[in-house]
């Protein structure tokens, strides 16, 4: 290890909120002859260990004021941190004003994000906006040529390892690494504060920060690098299986968003972010079998999800299929044991993932941001536009279908019968092709479209789709409406005894 740029720690300023793991650091610093400066609760912590500590108040000749809001904000503190030891003018000013240099700064900020998560009290949240700590972090990181900054409790252990292995000496490379972490901590902290403030009259700015990161095996394809930024373990407990991949995560996201719209017992099978099978049934096993029947070929290697506890009877049927992932809110013990029989099968316990308010995607040299499509149609939102009104059972199927079409790649057509997805057309450039594909998929699966209902993610510009659907056996249609030629489709339905309802809500998904 090169000694060029090495610095010996002689004086440390410690001001932390979380003192977990701090004790061995303080002991080591004391053993290495390092003078410790501190204030408030941290000073009391060090004193309780029987280790000498200099009060910051004694250095500055000012007490902590404004209820603790001002403690370290003083030239005698920041001068000692920001002074460049290779600059003769800086050293002369330190001597003139009797300011001691500081070689190590340890800070752990007030827990702003945890406070936001635990209370609606605005004043309590504002009081957890750290001022002195964030200033210390930035100052020490800026002057990393002379100062080592430890900006969070998670890096206490790294500091202790350096102290013990290098006898209190640090290299420029190490200080630069810690400085990078410091600016990551400070930028994340400021982002959280901005996003909390920016909720009413919003300033149009995109501020995102996620400190929990995972390197994936690869991205969408093996030649692409991939990363996941987010706390996956907070949302799911993985009970079995191999490491979750980039493509798994996309399918899991699609599955969780889909199932969130369903309240009755439901089961869905997804492939490439779209449902290839889905059904509702009071008996979970039946819901699964109906979902599987919708497209048993595409279900191979798919992602399965339900909103109910998986029992043994359902697991026995599921175990006959090769699938990548299963997601459920709970598993009966015998069911879980059976599903674990496949070593690589990913079994996830859904702990109640909180879905993002907005969706973000890259576009050209920037980003597209929009509110997530959280609108779910209810019976009172349906406007019957035909002479024939849908029956009660048809209305239930129409609502099931429109929920599903919302989560299907545009152009999208969904065919549903008796709470079961019987045909799907997804991602087509033509709505007619999407419909024809849905009818063909139903035929391939041996499912009858006679008496089914149809949902479209957008309006019909012509009456060709309702005509094709009618000829296939569809009896009721749900669509947003809004075409200048809506009347053509309505007239066709009236002439042929079909029911049509409009929602006024389009659900494009690109």
Which amino acids are annotated catalytic? 142, 272
What Cα–Cα distance (Å) separates residue 408 from each residue in 365, 413, 426, 475? 27, 8, 6, 22
What Cα–Cα distance (Å) separates residue 29 from each residue in 45, 83, 91? 15, 22, 25
Number of neighbours of residue 144 by Cβ within 10 angstroms: 20
What Cα–Cα distance (Å) separates residue 37 from each residue in 12, 94, 127, 139, 465? 6, 17, 24, 16, 77
Which residues, including other chains, have CB under 8 Å from residue 332's CB and lie 6 or more apart? 309, 310, 311, 312, 315
Q: What is the DSSP letter of 54?
A: E
Question: Long-range contacts made by residues 426-435, C-beta under 8 angstroms, separation at least 24?
Answer: 426/274, 427/274, 431/456, 431/458, 431/460, 431/465, 432/464, 432/465, 432/468, 435/465, 435/468, 435/469
3-state secondary structure of 267: strand
Distance CA 392, CA 419 (A): 12
Number of neighbours of residue 316 by Cβ within 10 angstroms: 14
Where are the strands (E) in 309-468, listed by range?
Answer: 323-328, 346-350, 358-363, 366-371, 383-384, 413-417, 420-425, 453-456
Distance CA 231, CA 12 (A): 33
Number of neighbours of residue 432 by Cβ within 10 angstroms: 16
Distance CA 267, CA 487 (A): 36
């Amino acid at each position: 290890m090169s000694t060029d740029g090495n610095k010996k720690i002689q004086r440390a300023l410690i001001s932390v909120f979380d003192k977990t793991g701090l004790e061995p650091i303080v002991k080591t610093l004391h053993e290495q002859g390092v003078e410790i400066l501190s204030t408030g609760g941290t000073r009391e912590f060090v004193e309780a260990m029987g280790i000498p500590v200099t009060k910051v108040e004694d250095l500055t000749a000012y007490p902590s004021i404004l209820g603790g809001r001002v403690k370290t904000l003083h030239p005698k503190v920041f001068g000692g941190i920001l002074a460049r030891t290779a600059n003769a003018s800086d050293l002369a000013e330190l001597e003139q004003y009797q300011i001691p240099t500081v070689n190590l700064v340890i800070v752990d900020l007030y827990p702003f994000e945890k406070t936001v998560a635990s209370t609606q009290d605005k004043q309590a949240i504002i009081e957890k906006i750290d001022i002195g700590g964030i200033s210390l972090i930035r100052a020490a990181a800026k002057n990393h040529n002379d100062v080592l900054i430890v900006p969070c409790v998670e890096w206490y252990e790294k500091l202790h390892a350096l102290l013990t292995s290098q006898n209190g000496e640090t290299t420029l490379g190490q200080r630069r690494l810690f400085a990078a972490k410091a600016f990551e901590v400070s930028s994340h902290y400021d982002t959280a504060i901005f996003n909390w403030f920016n909720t009413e009259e919003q300033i149009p700015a995109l501020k995102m920060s996620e400190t929990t990161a995972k390197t994936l095996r690869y991205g969408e394809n093996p030649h692409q690098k991939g990363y996941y930024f987010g706390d996956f373990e907070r949302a799911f407990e993985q009970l079995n299986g191999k490491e979750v991949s980039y493509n798994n995560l996309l399918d899991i996201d699609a599955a969780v968003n889909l199932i969130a719209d369903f309240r009755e017992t439901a089961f869905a099978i997804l492939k490439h972010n779209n449902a290839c099978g889905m059904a509702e049934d009071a008996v979970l096993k039946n819901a699964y079998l109906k979902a599987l029947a919708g497209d048993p070929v595409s279900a191979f290697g798919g992602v399965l999800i339900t909103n109910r506890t998986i029992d043994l009877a359902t697991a026995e049927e599921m175990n006959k299929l090769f699938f990548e992932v299963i997601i459920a809110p709970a598993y009966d013990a015998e069911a879980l044991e059976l599903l674990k029989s496949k070593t690589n099968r990913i079994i996830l316990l859904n702990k109640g993932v909180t879905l993002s308010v907005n969706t973000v995607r890259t576009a050209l040299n920037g980003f597209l941001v929009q509110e997530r499509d959280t609108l779910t149609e209810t019976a009172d939102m349906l406007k019957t536009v035909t002479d024939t009104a849908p029956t009660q059972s048809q209305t239930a199927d129409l609502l099931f279908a429109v929920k599903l079409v919302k989560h299907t790649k545009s152009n999208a057509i969904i065919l549903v019968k008796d709470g079961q997805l019987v045909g799907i057309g997804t991602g087509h450039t033509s709505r007619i092709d999407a419909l024809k594909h849905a009818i063909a998929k139903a035929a391939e699966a041996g499912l009858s479209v006679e008496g089914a209902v149809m949902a479209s993610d957008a309006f019909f510009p012509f009456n060709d789709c309702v005509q094709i659907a009618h000829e296939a056996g569809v009896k009721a249609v749900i669509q947003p409406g809004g075409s200048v030629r809506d009347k053509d489709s309505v007239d066709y339905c009236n002439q042929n005894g079909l029911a049509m309802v409009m929602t006024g809500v389009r659900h494009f998904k690109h």
